Structure 1
Amino acid sequence: MEFAADLRLLRTKAGTPSYREMGRAAHYSATTLSEAAGGRKLPSRAVTLAFVRACGGDEADWEQRWHAVAVELNGKSATTPSDENVTGAPYVGLRAFGPDDANLFFGRERLVDEIISKLDRERMVLLFGASGSGKSSVMRAGVVPALTAAGDTVLLFTPGARPIERCSVRLGSMLGMTAGAVMDECLRDDRGLHRLVAQALDGCDDDATMVIVVDQFEEVFALCEDEDERAKFIKALTTAASTPDSRCRVVLGMRSDFFTHCSAYPALLDAMPDGQVVAGAMSAEELRRAVAEPARRMKCTVESALVADLVAQAYGRPGVLPLVSHVLLQVWARRSGNRLTVSGFQAAGGLDGALSRTAEDVFTGLDKAQQQLARALFGRLVALGKGTEDTKRRLDITELGDDPDLAVVLEAFTAARLLTRDQDGVEITHEALIRAWPRLHGWLHDDRESLRLHRQLTDATDAWESVGRDADALYRGTRLALTLDWTSTHDTALSPREHQFVEASRSAEVRSSRRLRRLVVLLSVLSLLAVTATVFAVRAERNATAQRNAIRAQVVAGEAAALYPTNPDLAVQLGLAAYRLAPSTHTRDGLLSTLPLSVVRHASEVIAVALSSDGRTMATGSDDHTVRLWTIADPRAPVQLATLTGHTQPVYSVGFSPDGRTLATSSFDRTVRLWDVADPQHQMMATLTSHTEAVAAVAFSPDGRTLATAGHDRTVRLWDVADPRKPAELTTFTGYAEALYEIAFSADGRTLAIAGDEAVVQLWNIVDRRHPSALATLTGHDQGVHAVTFSPDGRTLATASDDRTVRLWDVTDPRRPIALPPLTAHNDGVYTVAFSPDGRTLATAGDDRTVRLWDVTDPHRATGLVTLSSHTDAVEVVVFSPDGRTLATGSWDSTVQLLDTDFEQTIARACDHVQTAITRAEWDSYLPGLPYEPPCPG
């Protein structure tokens, strides 16, 4: 891109400063500025101007150029997904990565290595993981290619309802034998499979081995109804692996909720202690690789903001990987040129909404008759759990029938990659659809007993046909009566085969004179069954309803937070509906993220916020070079008092003196300015010009007589500001190798904490302001430290770093600080920390766009309280009001939000934020299947 080439030329003319140096000047990360010059995408206007400013270019000229390029590109960008757009995609959506996708499979290298290493020591390895943890992809795209590359022969299959038959088909193909002959050998005795493996390796090197990889091993328990076949299959596998002269090793992958099923089989139980591997949640770095690397292989890029957003939302969540893969495929379909964008992510519905939206779009595109067929089809495609989660079920082609409308349904869901078809049958692409699509989850809840009855009818039809339609295999008595009652309202759900079975059963029963003699008994049995069924149905309904509501509420809560910046009325009501549907930490946080008391704005990124000691005035500093003063006596209705315009570059820091009469501001323009904010004219009283580079931080001592300033020139300076119109420099701290970002006084004013890019924090004794002495150096962070603050009692210090951690230190004795357990919930660099006035709460925020509140009553055991996610860019600063009732958060999204820290009261008053009630169409779009109940009156 010519635009990017010219940016690189501008940097060269400026002396080729490092991107790190430019980042300090521009207040953007080195990565962001490097990407701006890389040419893979057009940088934002703000990033472009920051880049130009850091290189001393003409901002007005570059702004005109940026607008011209943006207009040209917008006319060419793809906005609508199509089959062409997803052809050759580096993401696989809901389906598992396969051996052919190994070059696109990233993030699970550590787990694959663990399995291979364990397989070197053990004959049988069992991989357990929650549904959606990526087990199948690990097995197929990780383990199988690794084994094949090592020269092993691999036999890969899923067991289905007939595991021995499945194994025989695959092994027979390898041996050149019929599946029947292989199956007979396997069933002859326990060593049959062992002999067949030896035969397959005949002629190979003596150390050659075959590895049998059984993916989705839980199907042995969930789909195989024949206990004898199940036991023989497990015995065959364990014998083949454990026989002393065996050349076979076995890898089984299964859902963790089937763990206890294995304990019923001693051979599997014996393998567990040494052969068990758990597919846990991916680390943040693993998630980053899984998101970004496949696109890079296709010479495309993923916007760093999108990577950060996906990692932040997916990190630590069980079963989230299919949602990540699906939304990435949708974003790929909406890519702009060679980049995947945040706007494409939002258009796809976000992480929690993309899969549900895709399914809803397909379903609502069908007519009513087809929708009824879709409901019946998905009922067949799910195996209902018995003490476990529901599981997908492969549907044989013979069950489908030849209804032309059903063909339309199949084609629609297959085209959307929600179903997978081949010549033999169809199945749900991934079980994540069962959890993530509220409509399907609702069907399964509402029709649970009905689906069980239907599944029994399908199995009975199969059995009837397998014995040549023998009359003895037909339904009679109670089973027939229950089935006839069910078919009276579900006739359209039956396949032609099942219709024939029911009619044959009905005719046989009519011909039987025994029906009349057993009528009384039948009625008694039916009554007993009805009572029993009611008891179990009520219990099952309660559990299923709770599960369904929790899933649906979690999805809606995430959508509510994402909607807040563009549609706050709808966001509040969705958040409130989700919280009422299933109160939880997640839904509460989602609701609170839509309920700031008020929002104020700058023309550009907000970098600094400070509140006066009486809590009535707020100062905000911005990348737009201005400082704005606001009256927040009523935090619900801030009023701008003045705009201070003395600085010529971005304002980095603002701070009120303890008496609230003086405001100190610092800027990239290398100056610190003191303002008389008690004067209605807000006159500037003095300008401090000793720093030689950007001044990043200002802080008043508790007595207000001393001002500390710190900057990128690697110095800290103390100033006597007893008379702020005549400040005098007291001393200068030097000797730092990197830029300094933050300074903080202890509550007694005797200690000063200094932090910067060196990844350490230094404590100084400043009782003698002219001759400070070093107390201690705190080490523990791995990257630069952006923020430091003392607790009100001075006994605890909090530090925040680019290494994504917040560290707490016991500084009761500042000469011997003690490290306390770190806070590690953030998924990106942490920029700011603040203690509440009572010292019981700590607020933290940073580049992951979240604001987190922690209970630090006991700093040795800090616990998370609330996570807020309503900002759309990095959060630079958090500040508590003096009474602790309000929290101000300033962000690179150009806003400052004022939040009420009484969260119960905030939720109770949620509807105060709403002017227009949610419409029925909006309700049905986000909460399909639930009665329309607007949470707030219009």
Structure 2
Amino acid sequence: MAVASEPPAKRSKVEEGPANVILQFESETGDLTGPLLDVPDTVTPQQLEVLLNNLLQQGDPLPYAFFLQDHELAGELSTHLKKQQVSIEAALRVVYRPQALFRVRPVTRCTASMPGHAEAVLAVAFSPSGKQLASGSGDTSLRLWDLGTQTSEHTCQGHKNWVLAVSWSPDGCVVASADMDGVIWLWHSSDGSPIGCCKGHRKWVTSLAWEPAHAALPSRRFCSGSKDTTVRVWDAITRQCLFSMSSHTMAITCVAWGGEGLLYSSARDCSINVWDAQDGKLVRSLPGHGHWVNTLALSTEHALRSGAHDEHGLSLAEPDEAKRVAKERYAAASKGQPEKLVSGSDDNTLYMWQPSTSKKSLARMTGHMQLVNQVQFSPDGRWVASASFDKAIKLWNGADGSFVANFRGHVGAVYQVAWSSDSRLLVSGSKDSTLKVWDIKTRKLKLDLPGHADEIFAVDWSPDGSAVASGGKDKILKLWRH
């Protein structure tokens, strides 16, 4: 005889508690940390941080971000497991990354609109300390600005044509500016007085880069790239050209001075060249792009730019001690790995390279629908941001070049991007006359900053994180702060 079962509606429900998962901590470099851990799937990043700090037994607890299959954990682990459909049958590898101890506050308002230039502002650059600002313009002048009074401190006259590029020496004592005539001027940053000019290029200079502080202090050598197809290395004291490098067949678009004794140049001949910084000999060419190469970025760029200055803009007075600190900061930025290079092109692609060891690319990064204007590594080297004529900014993984996120919101071409020094925020400047601030963790627009009356050509975020500067077609230099 069949036994009637209890009606389903009257069955008692069994409450499901949190499941347990096995996880293994793993460093960025792939080293396993500690034993396998049995934790509830409701564990949060804050709890993981406590666990990890206990395992590492460090004196002061450090902040960490945690990643599972390249996705950052933002809430309970269980939420992430469901969303990404991650199996818990095997141990989960949770990668941890140390975060900046300081936080940069997002810029939220324009604190100064600084008139003075009579033509479009074409280049802006903060000093390595973040305490001074230089701007170059179509009015043939370079201006140095006092960030305290937010007024023009010095107007540097000497150029006879548009000032296209501006670059600070790593010690912050000298500013170099280059123009449409191919002339480079050097200026004392303290009072704006001219040191002298460097002549040799036959056509306009597109890019400047200084030898890093950990290689030489006081700063003495810098390089320039020109439409005349040459790259030149100069002595800032004698203002003489030390050597000229001429392997490119078309205009140079960008130069970068790396931390491993190498120079990099990109050109309209679709190539990227790697040069020995000591003698100017060609080390290798990096083939791959099918059109003009517009922009280069190094994974160690922030450390190279800031030199011995810390996140507050403070530095040491003695060159030997400052050089030692700069070397330590570079070593921390490179994490003992060869520096990476990313290039962006008119062929709509980016390439990632390890140029000190191979001419073969690490990754070909596709997705942009129009040419790539600029690429920038985040200060911690974990991300790459690219700005394009397709009105989008794309975020890429700085380790392997894989696509991470798309930032859309601009209604015109995006010309430039700049990172906050803690790598948590990104600012972009566009043809649509707006700046936009993006949150890297949420992958969303944080702030829209209108204010310019026309296209924004130049954007920079101060190395100390305190301010953003922007300039463009409306001839006004603007400062933005929290």
Q: Into which bin does the TM-score normalised by the smaller protein fall? A: 0.5 to 0.7
Choose from 378, 402, 423 the match for 1:791.
Answer: 378
SS at 2:386 equivalent: strand
Show the 5 A alignment for 1:391-540: none
How far 1:785 sits from its partner (Å)? Answer: 0.4
* Structure 1 residues 614 and 856: CA distance shift in structure 2, 3 A: farther
* Structure 1 residues 673 and 838: CA distance shift in structure 2, 3 A: same
RMSD: 3.5
How far 1:647 sits from its partner (Å)? Answer: 1.6
- Counterpart in the other structure of 2:216: none
Is residue 750 of structure 1 aligned with residue 339 of structure 2?
A: yes
* Distance in 1 (alpha carbons) for counterparts of 2:415 and 2:114: 22
State TM-score, norm by structure 1.
0.29
How far 1:809 sits from its partner (Å)? Answer: 1.9
Q: Deviations over 1:773-792 (max 9, x none)?
A: 32222222111101111001
Choose from 822, 828, 833 the match for 2:407.
Answer: 822
* Distance in 1 (alpha carbons) for counterparts of 2:156 and 2:341: 32
- Note if contact 2:286-2:360 (Cα within 8 Å) is conserved in structure 1: no
Is residue 808 of structure 1 aligned with residue 395 of structure 2?
A: yes
- Counterpart in the other structure of 1:864: 447
Show the 5 A alignment for 1:514-913: 597=152, 603-633=160-190, 638-659=192-213, 660-677=219-236, 679=237, 681-703=238-260, 705-721=261-277, 723=278, 726-747=279-300, 748=334, 749-768=338-357, 771-811=358-398, 813-814=399-400, 817-825=402-410, 827-850=411-434, 852=435, 854-856=437-439, 858=441, 860-864=443-447, 866-869=449-452, 875=457, 877-885=458-466, 891=472, 897=477, 903=481
* Structure 1 residues 900 and 647: CA distance shift in structure 2, 3 A: same
* Distance in 2 (alpha carbons) for counterparts of 1:766 and 1:685: 24
Q: Which has the higher contact order (CA 8 A, sep 6+)?
A: 2
How far 1:737 sits from its partner (Å)? Answer: 1.7
Q: Look at both structures and tell me which one has the larger radius of gyration over its CA atoms.
A: 1
Q: Deviations over 1:43-88 (max 9, x none)?
A: xxxxxxxxxxxxxxxxxxxxxxxxxxxxxxxxxxxxxxxxxxxxxx
How far 1:683 sits from its partner (Å)? Answer: 2.1
The one-letter code sitting in structure 1 at the alignment partner of 2:227 is F
- Note if contact 1:605-1:892 (Cα within 8 Å) is conserved in structure 2: no
* Distance in 2 (alpha carbons) for counterparts of 1:565 and 1:715: 35
* Distance in 1 (alpha carbons) for counterparts of 2:471 and 2:163: 6
The one-letter code sitting in structure 2 at the alignment partner of 1:642 is G
SS at 2:429 equivalent: strand
- Note if contact 2:417-2:429 (Cα within 8 Å) is conserved in structure 1: yes
* Structure 1 residues 695 and 667: CA distance shift in structure 2, 3 A: same
* Distance in 2 (alpha carbons) for counterparts of 1:879 and 1:838: 14
How far 1:847 sits from its partner (Å)? Answer: 3.6
* Distance in 2 (alpha carbons) for counterparts of 1:888 and 1:646: 31
How far 1:838 sits from its partner (Å)? Answer: 3.0
Matched residues, percent identical? 27
- Counterpart in the other structure of 2:88: none
Q: Deviations over 1:801-825 (max 9, x none)?
A: 11222222233x315x132131433
Which stretches in structure 1 are left out of the alignment for 5+ residues?
1-556, 567-591, 905-938
- Note if contact 1:606-1:896 (Cα within 8 Å) is conserved in structure 2: no
Q: Going by fraction, where is strand more abundant, 1 or 2?
A: 2
How far 1:728 sits from its partner (Å)? Answer: 1.4
SS at 1:822 equivalent: strand
- Note if contact 2:160-2:181 (Cα within 8 Å) is conserved in structure 1: yes
* Structure 1 residues 638 and 808: CA distance shift in structure 2, 3 A: farther
How far 1:623 sits from its partner (Å)? Answer: 2.1
- Note if contact 2:276-2:283 (Cα within 8 Å) is conserved in structure 1: yes
* Distance in 1 (alpha carbons) for counterparts of 2:229 and 2:344: 18
- Counterpart in the other structure of 2:3: none
The one-letter code sitting in structure 2 at the alignment partner of 1:649 is K
How far 1:563 sits from its partner (Å)? Answer: 8.2
Paired residues, what number? 301
* Distance in 2 (alpha carbons) for counterparts of 1:628 and 1:885: 28
* Structure 1 residues 886 and 626: CA distance shift in structure 2, 3 A: farther
- Note if contact 1:712-1:740 (Cα within 8 Å) is conserved in structure 2: yes
Q: Deviations over 1:752-801 (max 9, x none)?
A: 10111011111123351xx2332222222111101111001111111111
Q: Deviations over 1:654-677 (max 9, x none)?
A: 111212332111111111111122
* Structure 1 residues 600 and 671: CA distance shift in structure 2, 3 A: same
* Distance in 2 (alpha carbons) for counterparts of 1:863 and 1:611: 30
